[in-house]
């Protein structure tokens, strides 16, 4: 019998203990708030009548801060849909509960540091995009699950989960050392899951997209780039598109991730900081470790490189292509496509050039298809690994196009589409499909860059629009603000959440606390000046005062050479440019952990 996790729970809070009661079992987990001991017993009425009781839907885990450990529980969920009759849930709210009943035992510095650490944990938990299932393994693709033994499916969910995608893995360590607690140990995925009922030619089928963010080298835009020594890359996401029709299931998997070399791009108040490629580290080692693991997991790697082939991005292009050549591997191929140059002046139809160049690779790699009788008709034996500088906006556009082409082939094979029939000719479905992938793009962009994705007007409508360009300009400005003035805190929060930094309870007594590093006043004042300047700029855009060029970086968010004429004030534009160009030698990151 497949293992499952309790999600119908009552948490009873007593001054001395937490009692976690499974409502569909007689098991009771008791957490001692003083000794921190966790025990599993039969429920025989041990819960004190005076305990405060609340309904919870799972335990995210425990994090140890200066004051004490804190229990993190899921207090609100919403159902996304079903995958193979297994319900998938999205986390809507959580609660962080201290073991200690007060912080009076701390000195003032410890109290402040503990408060800041707690804010970090709550910051990560407020981020949308946490999903789980108590009966289905969300961390594995359809093909991987099919390639497992019957015995594997009897293992506890946390044991058989792909640890790359278990975002609360560090928080669960208090429980995983005790195997008897496995029905209380809930692996949580971070990314995006959407499930839609669709119709094509009056035939219903289910379309599912699951994006799994890797918790290794986790972080935010600019603060986390490139690869580490083990080959893990920043903003690595595995995206699986699943088609379910009358018991037959098709799956197409793609990956994205930062250029797998040792490089950085720390924020320095410039609109686009220059990437720095490390010369002190052995680039080929990290590159090789990354692709060795990817080949084992997915097969042959087709790198779709969308970086600019001029300017500062070109240095990364050359280094990436050199590393591919030096690997001398038949299992790695890179296809470079200068997205911004090819599609300049809104010539987005030129993306068909890239699709044509990838057509043969896609035909060879295929997709996974399992018939309703359980027989496997096809296997996917390679993967597209797409990247741009952020692995967001340009990457999202190309991945949605590759996924559509795969889905079209799958629907033809199961008989929903006839041979030669195109999905683009089914307008109702196209509307659902484009918005589904644009929503996926927005979710991943918010998690990494702090705003929705750029260029989603093309993903949603198939063309670039003036409102879309204006929204890209707005999002680009917001990204600039967040990346330079707030994302250091967010990076520290993620490091704390996933276990890259462990709090020592002796901090602020006989050990230094990294949060006590002084921060320059300029980084407190500059955001307000920038906000005023941007407000002036947008007001002037609405008041005719002569024509002025709007920088293409704001229109496209990625360095495109297109320019547009708009009304505006030269003075406010100058203020904004002065602020954007100021401080190129400073490093205003809050990140201190």
Residue 80 clears pLDDT 80, i.e. is over it: yes
Q: How confident is the model at residue 553 (pLDDT cuts 50, 70, 90)?
A: very low
- Residues 91 and 58 grouped into a single domain: yes
Task: Count CB neighbours of 369 within 10 A.
Answer: 23
* Domain final residue pick, 96, 115, 132: 132
Alpha-carbon span 208 to 229, nearest angstrom: 34
Domain-located, residue 176: no
For residues 506 and 475, membership in a common domain is answered with no
**Domain finish residue from 90, 109, 132:** 132
Q: Quick one: tokens of 506?
A: 């002796």
The residues that bridge with 120 in the sheet, in sequence order, are none
User: Under DSSP, is residue 190 helix (H, G, I), strand (E, B) or coil?
Assistant: strand
- Is 163 part of a structural domain of the chain? no
- Regarding whether 235 and 125 lie in a shared domain, the answer is no
- Alpha carbons 207 and 246: distance in angstroms, whole number: 12
Q: Which helix (H) or strand (E) holds 410?
A: helix 393-413
Considering the domain boundaries, does residue 251 fall inside one? yes
pLDDT at 91 over 90: yes
247 and 395 in a single domain? The answer is yes
Residues 349 and 439 in one domain: yes
394 and 261 together in one domain = yes
Residue 340 lies in a domain: yes
Same domain, 403 and 547: no
**Do 357 and 266 fall into the same domain?**
yes
Residues shown for the chain: 593
592 found inside a domain: no
Question: Which residue range is the domain that position 332 belongs to?
Answer: 196-485
pLDDT for position 571: 40
Residues 459 and 540 in one domain: no
- Same structural domain, 327 and 469: yes
The DSSP annotation for 67-111 comes to: S-EEEEEEEEEEEEEEETTEEEEEEEEEEEEESSS--TTS-HHHH
Please give the angle made by the CA atoms of 251, 256 and 260, to the nearest 5 degrees.
140
Residue 150 lies inside a defined structural domain of this protein: no
Give the separation between CA 558 and CA 581, rounded to whole angstroms. Answer: 17
Q: How much of the chain, in percent, has pLDDT values that exceed 90?
A: 74
Which of 89, 106, 132 terminates a domain? The answer is 132
pTM, two decimals, is 0.87
C-alpha 100/C-alpha 18 separation (Å) is: 11
**114 has a pLDDT exceeding 90:** yes
Same domain, yes or no, for 432 and 519?
no
**In the chain, helix, strand, coil percent, each to 5?**
40, 25, 35
pLDDT for res 541: 58
* Mean per-residue pLDDT, 36-63: 97
Side by side, the strands of the sheet bearing 9-13 are 38-42, 27-32, 17-22, 9-13, 52-56
Residue 175 covered by a domain: no
Residue 455 clears pLDDT 80, i.e. is over it: no
Res. 411: pLDDT tops 90 = yes
Q: What is the pLDDT of residues 230-282, one digit of tens each?
A: 999 999 999 999 999 999 999 999 999 999 999 999 888 787 889 999 987 78
Q: How confident is the model at residue 307 (pLDDT cuts 50, 70, 90)?
A: very high
Q: Which residue has 């750029």 as its token pair?
A: 454
CB 52, CB 12: distance < 8 Å = yes
Position 148 in a domain: no
| Euclidean distance between CA atoms 76 and 95, whole angstroms | 10
Distance CA 342, CA 305 (A): 13
Whether residue 527 is found in the same domain as residue 398: no
For the chain, how many structural domains are there in total? Answer: 3
Q: What is the pLDDT of residues 457-491, one digit of tens each?
A: 766 777 667 777 788 787 778 877 777 778 889 99
């Amino acid at each position: 019998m497949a293992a499952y996790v309790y999600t119908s729970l009552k948490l009873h809070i007593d001054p001395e203990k937490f009692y976690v009661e499974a409502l569909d079992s007689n098991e009771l987990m008791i957490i001692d708030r003083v000794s921190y001991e966790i025990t599993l017993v039969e429920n025989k009425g041990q819960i004190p009548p005076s305990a405060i009781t609340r309904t919870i839907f799972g335990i995210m885990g425990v994090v140890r801060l200066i004051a004490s450990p804190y229990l993190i529980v899921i207090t609100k969920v919403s159902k996304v849909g079903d995958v193979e009759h297994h319900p998938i849930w999205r986390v809507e709210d959580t609660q962080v509960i201290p073991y200690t009943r007060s912080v009076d035992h701390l000195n003032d510095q410890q109290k402040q540091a503990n408060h800041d650490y707690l804010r970090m944990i709550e910051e990560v938990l407020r981020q949308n995009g946490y999903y789980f299932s108590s009966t289905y393994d969300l961390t594995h693709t359809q093909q991987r699950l099919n390639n497992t033994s019957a015995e594997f499916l009897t293992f506890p969910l946390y044991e058989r989960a792909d640890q790359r995608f278990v975002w609360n893995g560090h928080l669960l360590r208090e429980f995983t050392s005790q195997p008897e607690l496995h029905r209380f140990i809930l692996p949580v995925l971070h990314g995006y899951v959407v499930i839609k009922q669709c119709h094509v030619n009056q035939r219903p089928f289910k379309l599912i997209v699951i994006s799994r963010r890797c918790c290794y080298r986790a972080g935010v835009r600019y603060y986390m780039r490139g690869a580490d020594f083990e080959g893990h890359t920043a903003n690595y996401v595995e995206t699986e598109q699943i088609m379910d029709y009358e018991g037959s299931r098709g799956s197409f998997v793609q990956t994205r991730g930062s250029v797998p070399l040792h490089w950085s791009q720390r924020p320095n108040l410039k609109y686009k900081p220059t990437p720095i490629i490390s010369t002190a580290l052995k680039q080929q080692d990290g590159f090789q470790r990354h692709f060795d693991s990817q080949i084992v997991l997915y097969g042959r790697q087709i790198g779709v490189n969308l970086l600019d082939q001029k300017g500062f991005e070109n240095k990364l292009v050359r280094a990436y292509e050199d590393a591919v050549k030096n690997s001398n591997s038949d299992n790695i191929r890179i296809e470079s496509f200068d997205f911004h140059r090819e599609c300049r002046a809104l010539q987005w139809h030129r993306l068909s050039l890239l699709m044509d160049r990838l057509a043969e690779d896609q035909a060879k790699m295929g997709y996974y298809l399992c018939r309703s009788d359980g027989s496997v008709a096809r296997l996917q034996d390679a993967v597209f690994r797409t990247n741009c500088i952020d692995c967001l906006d340009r990457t999202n556009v190309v991945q949605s196009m590759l996924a559509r082409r795969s889905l079209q082939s799958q629907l033809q094979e199961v008989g929903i589409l006839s041979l030669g029939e195109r999905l683009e000719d089914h307008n109702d479905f196209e509307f659902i499909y484009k918005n589904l992938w644009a929503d996926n793009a927005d979710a991943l962009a918010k998690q990494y860059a702090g705003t929705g994705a750029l260029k989603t007007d093309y993903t949603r409508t198939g063309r670039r629009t003036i409102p879309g360009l204006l929204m890209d300009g707005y999002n680009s400005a917001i990204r600039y603000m967040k990346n330079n003035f707030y994302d250091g805190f967010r990076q520290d929060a993620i490091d704390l959440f996933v276990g890259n930094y462990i709090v020592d309870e002796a901090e602020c007594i006989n050990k230094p606390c990294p949060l006590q590093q002084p921060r320059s006043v300029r980084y407190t004042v500059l955001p307000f000046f920038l906000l005023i300047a941007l407000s002036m700029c947008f007001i002037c855009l609405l008041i005719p005062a002569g024509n002025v060029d709007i920088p293409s970086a704001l229109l496209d968010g990625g360095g495109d050479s297109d320019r547009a004429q708009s009304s505006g004030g030269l003075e406010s534009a100058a203020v904004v440019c002065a602020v954007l160009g100021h401080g190129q030698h400073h490093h205003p990151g809050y990140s201190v952990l």
